[in-house]
Structure formats: C-alpha cells, structure tokens
Amino acid sequence: MMHKEKYEVTPEPRTTISNRLTSFYGNIRSHLLGGVLTGRRSVYEVSDADLAEGEDGLTAFRQETDGKEGKKNVVKFQRTTSGYLFKPTRMDEEVLLKPKSVELQRSLNRQAHKTSLYEIPNLILRRGQSFDISITFDRTFSEADDEIVLRFVTGRQPMQSKNTVIPVTKVRNLQQGEWGYQITSTEDKKVSLKICTGSSCVVGRYTVYIDTVHRNNEKREEKYRYTHPDDIFIIFNPWCSADTVFLEDENEREEYILNETGRIWMGTVGKFSVRPWNFAQFDDVCLMAALAMLEKSELADSARGDPLLVVRAVSGVINNNEHDGGILVGNYSGKYDDGVAPYAWNGSSAILEEYLKKRKGVKYGQCWTFAAVATTALRALGIPTRCVTNFISAHDSDFSTQIDNFWSPDNKPRKRLNDTIWDFHVWNESWFKRPDLPDGYDGWQAFDPTPQECNEGVFTCGPASVKAIKQGKLYLGFDTRFLFAEVNGDRIHWTIDSEGNMEAIAEEKTIVGRFLSTKAVNTISREDVTNSYRYAEGTSELEDVIKLAKKLCARKEVKIASPLADDIEFSYNGSVQKNGDIDVEVKMKNIGKESRVVDIFITAIATKYTAVPSNDLKDSLAASVLEPGAENETKLSLKASDYISSIDTDSHVNIYIIANVKETNQKYICREIIRCERPNLELKTEGNATVGKPFDVIVKLVNTLSIPLTGGYINLEGPGMQKVSAVKIKKPINPNEEIRETIQIKPRRAGRREIIANFHCKQLCDVTGVTEVEISGEPNKS
C-alpha cells in the first residue's frame, strides 16, 4: 500500500495496540467491500515504479540534481531500528538528530481532551485543541541548526492535497483550530512541544512521523524520519468553537457526548413506556466500529472531516438490506429464532462487537435499535447525537401529508390496504452547523437510520435541518420532505367496494406527529420537542406550512360529503387491567329530535407497532335504535388468556370502531391502541463494586398478569462491564408469583455507572429495570 511504502519506517512488523484490535477484527475494508474492486473504483495498490515517479509531496525528502540529463535522484534510505536514515554521500552521521523516545503523555492529554473514558488505550484527541508531547533525542537539540516537522498521516492513499498528510511546523503563536506547534521547553536532549490540530481536519486513525533536519556549516541538510509505533485517533470536538459540531452549553455536551446511557421512549400516546439503553460509546469496540462504518460507506478519506457527510454515511450503513448491506438486520415479523430479538438487546456494544467479529449484518433490530446504534457510533466520533421518538408517525412515501385508511361497505376494516402510521418511530438528531444551507439552519439535524425509502440507490434519510422541517422548506436537503411527512398529516377514511370504487367518508385532522420525545438533559425525564418540528395546531403558521408542502405533491384535495345531520354523540372508553384483561366501551346519545338507527362494529386485532396487522382476535356487531334523548352503549371484552398467548411477543391490540347512522349517514370512526401493563423489574446490587472484581446484582420480578409467563430470559449489562450471558428462567412464573435471580457482573472501569436489565418471555417483552452503582478502583491501563 502506498503509505506503507512511504511512511512505514520500522523494518520488522510491529504489533501495536491498535494493530492488535484491527487484527482481531480482521481486514475491515476487504471484508466489508469484497476483494474485487477493479472497475468499480480506484484500488490503492501502488508499485515500486509508481513510487519512483513523482509523488514528491508525500515523502518530502526527494532531492533534485543538476545533472546533464536532468533526471531526479531519489535519496537512498538506510533502515535502522527506529527510522529511516537518509544517506547522501559524505554525510556525517553524528550530526543527525534522531528521536530515541517520544512521550505522548496519554493520560494528561486524554484527560484534557475528555477522552479518558475510551477503553482503547491509544491517544485520542479532539480536533482543534492543543496537546503536549516530549521528544528525547540522541543528542542535544539546537534551535538554530535543527528543525522538527511533524507529519500526521491518515487514510488509504495519504496525500497532502487531500488533507490526509498534514505537515505541522513551528509557529510563533498557536491559534485554536489551526495546525502548528510551539517548543515549550528544552532540557539537554529532551524537547517539549505543544501541538494544535486543525478544527476541520479529517477524523480517524493517524500515524505520526517526526522528521528532523540538521543544517551544517556548509548549509547542507541532513534528514531523518522517525515513526511513532502507536496510532493516534482524532475525533470531532464540540468543546472547540471553531469546530462545526461546537455545542455551547456544557450540560448538553455532557449529555449528548459523554453520557453512556440514556432513555428511549416507546409505547403509545397516553401510555408511554421508556426503554433504558446502554450506548457504551467508550467501550473498546465502539470507536473501532464507528471507523469501520465509514469504511463500509466508502466515504472518501478527505470527506471525513465534515459532520454532515459523516452522519449521512453512518446512517446509511446502520441498516442491513438487500441493496447495500449494513450493521443491523431489520425484522418486524415477530419470528427471531435465528438471531436475537430486537427487544432482547440492552445496548449497542454487543451489537457492534458481533458485527466486527462476523463481518455481516447482526440479527435483529427495529427502529429504536437502529437509532441507538447510530447514537453510539456518532458520540464515539465526537458528534453530539440523541434519539428522538415521534408518536403516531406517518410513513408517507408520496409526501402528500394524506394518510389513507379503508373500510368495506359492511363496515369491516380493510387493514392491508391502509397507509402506514406507526404507533411510534425513533430516529436521531445530531448537532452541527450547515454551511451548505442558507443562514439560520444550524443546530439539530434530523436523520433516520431505519430503512424505509431508497434514496439515490441507498436506504438513507437525512440529515435535514429540524428548523427547515418546521418551516416546511422541503427543498432544503437532505430528505426534508420525508421527515416533514412523518410529523404532519391528516387521515382520510374511505369505503371501497368489490370493484375497487372508493368514497371518502371521514377525515381526522393533524393526527400524526404527537409528543416528540427525547431524554432531558441531566435527568431521566422526558423532554417534549414537538414545537421544534411543527407549529402548534390551529395556528396560521401551521396552515401556511401545510399549504406550502401540498404544492409539492400532485394529489388533489379530497372532498368529503357532509352528513344530513350530526345529532348522535359518540364517546370511547378503553382500558386494560393490571392482569391484562381489556374492556372497550362506546357510548351513544341522541341529542336530536328524531329517532335514529345506529350500526356499530368493534373489532380487536393483534398488530405490530408498525401498524401491520397479524390476526383478528374478537369483534362485536350491534344495531341500536335511539329515540330522542336516549343513550346506549356497545361493549367488547378480552380476557388476557384469550389473546396474549395467541399473538407475537412484541404485538399488541388495536381496536377498530366504525358506526353509521342510517338516516343521516353520520359516521363515527375510531382507532385506538391498547397495550397490557408490564410488571416492574427491580434491580439491587450487593457488596462493594471494584474494578476487575465481580459483584452481585439481584433481579426481582412479580408476574402481575392472570396467566403464567413461560420461556423467560433476563439480560443484564452496563457501560464498561464485561458481557454477561442471558439468564434463562427455567420454570413458568405463575400469576402473582415472585422470582429472584442473582447475576454476577464484572466492571472494567471506575465511576458511577447504570446497570440495565430487561426481561422477556413468550407472552410479553420490554420489561426493564435500572440501578446505579459506584465502582471503585482505577481502570485497567492494559
């Protein structure tokens, strides 16, 4: 490889820390892209003949001669144990300035750059910020006669023109965000340097070269190159005002960069559930996995300093599909026997570790796991990122803000024709500036790593400015119109006959885009960010935005015939008992002066959170005659034993209701989601928690349902903790029975940590619990 020929200086193969990690996970690029790249893109294999011709900017040590033929004379290299000796004729080797050792001061620099928590022991720097190193030479350093040039080299084909070879020279004054170094002290053979990296430099893994030049009395230059044996990593820096990911508020930086655990909101409107998640961005596999994602995306090395392109690249490779592969395989079927069920994961680290080991998509994930893994990868790279949940989320592929539902003439739902409205959908936001857009669109940028629509040949969505989404500026990329349609929309109800003829019968205004939620800063509470995505209902601003959006769609406005009278009042009440029993009631009252005949149909259907139906559970059909002032009600009840064992673990019950008043053609249509109550999962730690020593976590569960729970498993993990195998519950858990399991876990890092557990069985999932523990002792350095 080119940079091996030009920059690798040690004759024997070295086994560095980062090399060992890379070796363990194999050759990332060849496994991810395949070995045959010829004809698809340039392959970076360079021959010796190529190296002998041109490329002067790479080595920086070629010399021109004044020979008659005018040919280049390449300086010959003599290999030594620590570097290359450039040996022209009659050179006095005693004047060469050779580094004997280089101290990167990893502990102090990592602390200053807020990278101490990364388990990879290499020096990890945030760009645009200074750091200190010291070099011990084989002789006394002379500022008058000796010169030091540092070279930071990254990428598959390092070139100075592509900003993947960075020569760093001495400057009079260091400027934040500008490359340069100053000599802070000299003490005999030891020289201390303060170095600053560029605030827009490429992020990734770098090799550091130290070039020294000695000018003798004859003004002849004697040159030497030293290569540091360990790679360093440079990542984005939200603490640097010159970096495009700069985030001003320290509390937000702590939350969206340094917080290793979080909360993801799920469930339904009116009955939120919260899923604790172990982002674990500092675990040893996570930074390596994030860099592997950039390799998988084929994002050019020189583009990896732009957070917009990095976020889009990572988002595109999170999902694994038949078009372009990826990290995590989506599955919404309820059948997960050949992998791990999406609800069984507690965190991102286990997913990323399995991916790096097996080199293929990990089975399985759903929207919240896609979003959580994206959060982990981008926080590991230094980009402020969070998960956002949109309740009642539309999948509107034509961006019309119109969602269609269908009914048969005999008032039965035609479920499989309906446009999709997910109960909830989780995507991401990352914080960075948008110099590619007009002024005013910096800040949170929304993107969706869940594969839904193919855009330019890749399943990806965003990043789109959240401000542009709110303002309806759908032409401001990327994919703003798709995200806009997920949070704005009306539902139109149609009847469809056997010949396919349709008639619009009812409309529900602005039903999607409710209670957009993310974890609040410094708490475990929910922060509502709906106002960031859409104007308040009923405002003229929202009306103007919807009108603007509809101009970009070819659909015509739907006209719905008004009923002859609207004199029947309907009200819905649905509840689920703690034991899992469901009761549904629809009340009707005639407030008119004439009698009415009302036909009402209620059906309960097992449904995924993606609104895809699986099987019918129970229905009720009734006709009522209501005299003026009269009231009536229609009920439907489901026992837990009647439905829980007959639906998939991650399904719930949807209630469809349609009522028709014969005399006036008045319609009442209602669709509600019912999820049974989850038991509490209690966690408690026993004994002192110390780095490197196992401690006990006691997990307690009481079955509150009226049926036994069978095939149960408990999964437990935490950031900086060794992986624990799932614990199988061998016996059924009977109604009102309590179980306790003691699980040992061993920490790798000190500090206050959250431990996250989840329980799932054949009957239910998403039963979670959290506890905090203070871990004493120093983290391992090896």
The model's pLDDT over 708-765, given as tens digits with 9 standing for 90+, comes to: 999 999 999 999 999 999 999 999 999 999 999 999 999 999 999 999 999 999 999 9
Rounded to an integer, what distance in angstroms lies between the CA atom of residue 51 and that of residue 46? 7
Q: What are phi and psi of 475, to 5 degrees?
A: -85, -5
Residues 159, 160, 164, 166, CA torsion sign = positive
**Tokens 């990122």, located at residue:** 385
pLDDT band at 777 (very low <50, low <70, confident <90, very high): confident
Residue 558 in tokens: 């739907």
Helix, coil or strand: residue 627:
coil
The DSSP call for residue 725 is P
Length of the chain: 782
User: Would you call 760 a catalytic residue per the annotation?
Assistant: no
**Tokens 């995590």, located at residue:** 328
pLDDT at residue 391 tops 80: yes
User: Would you call 228 a catalytic residue per the annotation?
Assistant: no
What's the mean pLDDT in 194-207? 98
Residue 261 in tokens: 């655990």
What pLDDT score was predicted for residue 3?
Answer: 38
Task: Note the maximum CA span of the chain.
Answer: 117
Q: Compute the 3-state secondary structure of the chain and give helix, strand, coil in percent, each to the nearest 5.
A: 20, 40, 45
What pLDDT score was predicted for residue 443?
Answer: 98
E-assigned strand segments in 57-189: 63-64, 72-73, 77-79, 83-86, 99-103, 124-126, 130-137, 146-153, 165-168, 180-187
pLDDT at residue 291 tops 60: yes
Q: What are phi and psi of 274, to 5 degrees?
A: -115, 135
Identified catalytic residue from 3, 425, 652, 760: 425
Rounded to an integer, what distance in angstroms lies between the CA atom of residue 103 and that of residue 351? 35
Residue 55 in tokens: 């490329």
Residue 631 in tokens: 């009231």
pLDDT at residue 191 tops 60: yes
In terms of Cβ atoms closer than 10 Å to its own Cβ (0-12, 13-18, 19+), residue 390 is buried
Q: What are phi and psi of 412, to 5 degrees?
A: -105, 140
- Please name every residue paired with 64 in a beta bridge, in sequence order, or none if there are none: 72
**Side-chain half-sphere CA neighbours of 549 within 13 A:** 31
Rounded to an integer, what distance in angstroms lies between the CA atom of residue 76 and that of residue 87? 6
Helix, coil or strand: residue 747:
strand
Rounded to an integer, what distance in angstroms lies between the CA atom of residue 402 and that of residue 566? 25
Q: pLDDT above 90 covers what percent of the chain?
A: 72
Residue 375 in tokens: 């959060």
Identified catalytic residue from 211, 306, 324, 448: 448
Identified catalytic residue from 196, 201, 240, 367: 367
Q: Is 296 left (phi over 0), alpha (psi -120 to 50) or beta?
A: alpha
User: Would you call 448 a catalytic residue per the annotation?
Assistant: yes
pTM of the model: 0.89
Mean per-residue pLDDT of the chain: 87
CB atoms under 10 Å from CB of 685, counted, come to: 16
What pLDDT score was predicted for residue 459?
Answer: 62
Q: Tell me which H or E stretch contains 6.
A: helix 2-7
Q: Is 633 left (phi over 0), alpha (psi -120 to 50) or beta?
A: beta
Rounded to an integer, what distance in angstroms lies between the CA atom of residue 236 and that of residue 385? 12
What pLDDT score was predicted for residue 711?
Answer: 96
Instruction: Indicate the residue type of 723.
Output: K
Among 530, 635, 516, smallest CA distance to 574 is for 635
pLDDT band at 270 (very low <50, low <70, confident <90, very high): confident
What pLDDT score was predicted for residue 70?
Answer: 35
Round to the nearest angstrom and report the end-to-end CA distance of the chain.
30
pLDDT at residue 27 tops 90: no
What DSSP letter does each residue of 628-667 carry, written as one string? TT-EEEEEEEE-HHHHGGGS-TT-EEEEEEEEEETTT--E
